[in-house]
Structure 1
């Protein structure tokens, strides 16, 4: 038996929908921070090896920062994940990263100018 492969994914109205390709009904586990999430459902898709799966994202796991939901096969192989970023902490991280990139760009511009327009004394 082949391992399931997650081929398409989307998050809509709080429900993570994805397609899994495998030869038999997929035996999957969804988890967040090591806790199994309930209500993962898979139904036959458009082809014989295609399965449409859905997982309601519990509101209780949504809070500031990065939250990751992981989908694993029953034998523990990770086949996909959904990362959700939110909140003020994220905004601070992005601002800090942009500030760092601006500083690096200023250094590069100064080095470029010095290389192509050397000062003559």
Structure 2
């Protein structure tokens, strides 16, 4: 049995990159599947690199839509989930972020006013 660990390195130009490390004497490398909403993602590649394996997962443009889209990376041999990653996009998300940012700004202003008042009154 192969013990596989996955470390994300980056997302660049629509491709999720990671490094797979595994303890095995087999030359075939790990067997990986990536799914989105239960459907396999095409174009996933695993290639040898410096004693480890480079995993490349192209993020299909047709999978990007409003909300959060989650991709699951699993080891087919052990059926273990190695990693997940999510893509967030769209108007509903940006509205939520703006509201949170405005709340944070208001709280920061309140704290600044209270601190200034404290400094003036305690002299």
TM-score (norm 2): 0.76
Matched residue, 1:77: 80
Matched residue, 2:30: 26
- In 2, the alpha carbon distance for the partners of 1:103 and 1:78 equals 41
Segments of 5+ residues of structure 2 without an aligned counterpart are: none
Segments of 5+ residues of structure 1 without an aligned counterpart are: none
Cα deviation, 1:91-111, whole Å, max 9, x if unaligned, reads 212211110101111221232
- In 2, the alpha carbon distance for the partners of 1:18 and 1:101 equals 34
SS at match of 1:4: strand
Matched positions, count:
117
- In 2, the alpha carbon distance for the partners of 1:103 and 1:112 equals 14
Matched residue, 1:46: 50
Comparing both structures, which one devotes a greater share of its residues to strand? Answer: 2
- Stretch moving more, 30-39 or 91-100: 30-39
- In 2, the alpha carbon distance for the partners of 1:76 and 1:108 equals 50
Cα deviation, 1:70-109, whole Å, max 9, x if unaligned, reads 2122334332233222222232122111101011112212
Runs of 4+ in 1 over 4 A off after TM superposition: none
